[in-house]
Structure 1
């Protein structure tokens, strides 16, 4: 049977937010222990005192590394961080005809040199994110589709990742966690094999760019 300490350590290590909070000393141990008591008693099949849980949390916090065990290494190349401005996001209800709209949009938009256009199809919704010059085209092609939301005055920051970044557990969490600590609100995420694009409100773009710039590892 698991001990209280072992079970507490397992709970903490399985939650990146608990691990980060304990490592930074941001969590009230007594309150966290009170919150964990019901789960621990249920899992361990015995009464668990709050003091014992607090002691176990202190031990776990003392063993957490001062920094992330694995540094996030981003692509070492020019253009690894790119910003795009003045974007608009449309969200449409998916219909039987919306795939035709998607194809027509890509055909008529052409290469759109220097402009941004992406379409994401979900099970119930379709999202179109585009540069402002494409707005009229999107409105025309999707005129008969049900518009669920329209967000304007957005910017995007694209981060270049290494080709093997998919092998790094929690790589997206590491990026999003740092943005969350700096209170950067994200509107949407778009990813490819080596690119992660963050869609943000204008006022958060500078902070996001700063956070991501600081994450880029510089080789000497």
Structure 2
């Protein structure tokens, strides 16, 4: 075989390979277009609604309306078992749904997380809805639903003390800091109680998270801090 023939064969192979790649891209784009169209076009029949909203449901055996689908999902959301707080501040004991829970629509559920959902469906003799449906019902519910998002402690004094290996040099300062914190919380609770008892006629209490507004520019945080500390 001559050198020119080898060059022609090499070029031909490369051309065929590129054509195959282009064809694969075209097929992929077509599939994406079809999927997008399927999502954009609303279901036209009741059977289409079932196929779109339920996983593993035989549409010939049961037909559910939108409202009938929403009710068990909302009941499932309302029956979520809150966990004791592990991330929130020391003075905020409110229970919350963990961010890695299967009940959080924005996260993918693992097999262990999905067990409560499977048990719920088995006990209520129903088929599970798709994640898309669960998200839609969760976000479109009136009044709006949301999961409690606990705040982490952002106190510099506490963080430095907890992170330090030798705590003795800063222990006195930390204990004074915690004492002032306790006094402030007691004062705030007393002011709230007084405002409630007075019904706002002569006394009103306003509280805010100082650590939350300190990083905000143009908030006059330095002036507020000076007033609070004086």
TM-score, normalised via structure 1 length: 0.28
Relative to the length of structure 2, the TM-score reads 0.27
Higher gyration radius (CA) = 2
Task: Report which of the two has the higher share of helix.
Answer: 2
Task: Please state which structure has a larger fraction of its residues in strand.
Answer: 1
Greater RCO (Cα-Cα under 8 Å, separation 6 or more) = 1
